[in-house]
Chain A
Amino acid sequence: MSGENPASTTEYIQHHLQNLVYGKLPAGFERHTENGVEVLGADTWTMAHGASEAAAMGFMAVHVDSMAWSIGLGVLFCWLFRRAAVRATTGVPSGMLNFIEMIVEFIDGSVKDSFHGRNKMVAPLALTIFVWIFLMNLMDLLPVDLVPKLMGLAGVGYQKIVPSTDPNITMGMALGVFILMIYYNIKIKGTGFIKELTMHPFNHWAFIPINLFMELVGLLAKPFSLGLRLFGNMYAGEMIFILIAMMFAAGAGTGLVFGGLNAQLFGTETNGAFWLVIFVLVCGVCWMNLKGKISTGRTVLLTLGLLTIGGGVFALGGGLMQWGWAIFHILVITLQAFIFMVLTIVYLSMAHEEDH
């Protein structure tokens, strides 16, 4: 939170970009603990403390936070839609069911538009991809510091809450789609698939190596572009949230009144937990106003007072910028989820079509 000097600024960013990793530390790894350096005698499965340990784990590691949020959001998706499915009637739909049906109809339309084969899996696949990725992207709209801070208070060192900023997650899904592409290519076309790879675009045996090279590159480019596009967009978006938070974090942490008092009395800076309290209080005031408990004029006064004590103008400025970027980002997250879905449909549609 308190990013005053360059070192802590870098730390702040790195901290935000570090996953919570569980993995295997190799034998002989020198572990820096509070009791000094500890040399591991054997391969050890453990939580990584910091980026260097995470890096040492290499491939044999799991991003616990990414997996947990991804599975959690997937379960949320399943729960929401399963509930809608159970309640679905042929009568007049209402409320949540309407919304779910709107999404389902939208997906169904997209699939019918671009996929002409016969496959019962494509539509549910597209629905899962769209909603799940959208939910994962949606985590980006939570204030960047909120969850990591709370998790930090609960004793968890690192927390990246947007699974789609993790290339493992996006590439995992892209590879899943890729496997389906290969499977249906072989299933539907049989030897035609090999012919497509070798005899296209130049239909002559002498060109087989060139054809193979071009087609394979084209084929492999699909999952990579699919996974990396989503990752890149979400990663960049997340980065901008972090940068905005960092620019204004110092001001937000040190309130005009409280920060001054604190510095005078104790010679220390106000920490982020205090800002969190102010944030919650402001939210509370706005909530009360929404509920009609206090008048709008009083709400404005109270908010301004709280901001003066708490984050003051900096918090307001930072908040506004976060707000602006978040609104723009709503577009991005929806669009990325949609693009991933449409490309999946198109790729699978290509796998189903004999004529290329």
Chain B
Amino acid sequence: MNINLTLFGQMVTFAIFVWFCMKFVWPVIIGAMEERQQKIADGLDAADRAMRDLEAAKSEATDQMKEAKQEAAGIVDQANKRANQIVDEAKVLAVAEGDRLKVAAEAEIEQEINRAKEELRSRVAGLAIAGAEKILEASIDDKANRALVDKLATQL
């Protein structure tokens, strides 16, 4: 319990350990810790920046998407309009063609009618002559009456 040389022994030991700690322990650990702190801070900064970049990229992408959609809508509109136009044109063409065909068909029909009339006339003339032959039962000069009957037939 008495004070003795141990006191000075402890003082010297104390000094040595403090010196050791100051020289080889504290600066190294604190240095490493501060460096790590810096690193973490940098990392967080980078993460923040990345987040902001991401945000910006997202909004840009949204803008582009909107633009593209508008463009697409425009293109579809145009296409629809064009399609309608084509259909209208086609309709007009078809009507014209139809008319043309109708006219041609009518002309042909007219022709046919005329030909039929011609034939009918000639047949009627023959029939009339044959009928007259039978009625008269006499031989009439075919040549003399022919002109007469033809004249009749034209009046039909």
Contacts and interface: CB of A to CB of B under 8 A. Distances in A.
B26 A176 contact: no
Contacts of B31: 88
B4 A57 contact: yes
B15 A101 contact: no
A145 B32 CA distance: 43
The prevalent SS among residues of A at the interface is helix
B30 A168 contact: no
Given A78-B17, A81-B29, A121-B22, A62 B1 contact: no
Nearest to B33: A101
A336 interface: no
A104 B7 contact: no
Contact of A172 (B9, B26, B33): B9
Interface string B1-44: 11111111111011101101110111011111101100100000
Contacts of A66: 6, 10
**Central interface residue in B3, B6, B21, B36, by most chain A CB within 10 Å:** B6
Given A90-B32, A124-B18, A176-B15, A59 B5 contact: yes
A299 B17 CA distance: 45
Contact of A169 (B2, B6, B39): B6
A132 interface: yes
A270 interface: no
Contact of A90 (B11, B24, B35): B35
Interface in A39-67: 54-55, 57-63, 66-67
**Central interface residue in A21, A82, A172, by most chain B CB within 10 Å:** A172
A321 interface: no
Nearest to B32: A88
Interface string A96-130: 00001100110010000000000011011101100
Contact of A58 (B4, B9, B21): B4
A332 to B, nearest CB: 21
A8 to B, nearest CB: 21
A89 interface: yes
Contact of A88 (B10, B21, B29): B29
Interface stretch (A69-77, A197-205, A255-263, A274-282): A69-77
Given A74-B13, A78-B17, A172-B8, A84 B29 contact: yes
B97 to A, nearest CB: 85
A124 B24 CA distance: 10
A171 B3 contact: yes
The prevalent SS among residues of B at the interface is helix
A172 B4 contact: no
A61 B5 contact: yes
A330 B20 CA distance: 27
A173 interface: yes
A48 to B, nearest CB: 11
Contacts of A60: 4-5
Contacts of A74: 13, 17
Given A55-B2, A166-B6, A173 B30 contact: no
Contacts of B11: 172-173, 175-176, 179
A90 B10 CA distance: 36
B17 A58 contact: no
Contacts of B15: 176
B113 to A, nearest CB: 108
Contacts of B39: 90
A134 B82 CA distance: 92
Interface string A4-37: 0000000000000100010100000000000000
Contact of A175 (B7, B13, B25): B7
**Central interface residue in B5, B25, B32, B36, by most chain A CB within 10 Å:** B25
23 contacts: A57-B4, A60-B5, A63-B4, A67-B9, A74-B13, A78-B20, A81-B21, A88-B29, A88-B31, A90-B32, A108-B30, A123-B26, A124-B22, A124-B26, A128-B21, A168-B9, A169-B10, A171-B7, A172-B10, A173-B11, A175-B7, A176-B15, A176-B18
Interface of B: 1-11, 13-15, 17-18, 20-22, 24-26, 28-33, 35-36, 39
Interface of A: 17, 21, 23, 54-55, 57-63, 66-67, 70-71, 74, 77-78, 81-82, 84-86, 88-91, 93, 100-101, 104-105, 108, 120-121, 123-125, 127-128, 132, 166-169, 171-173, 175-176, 179
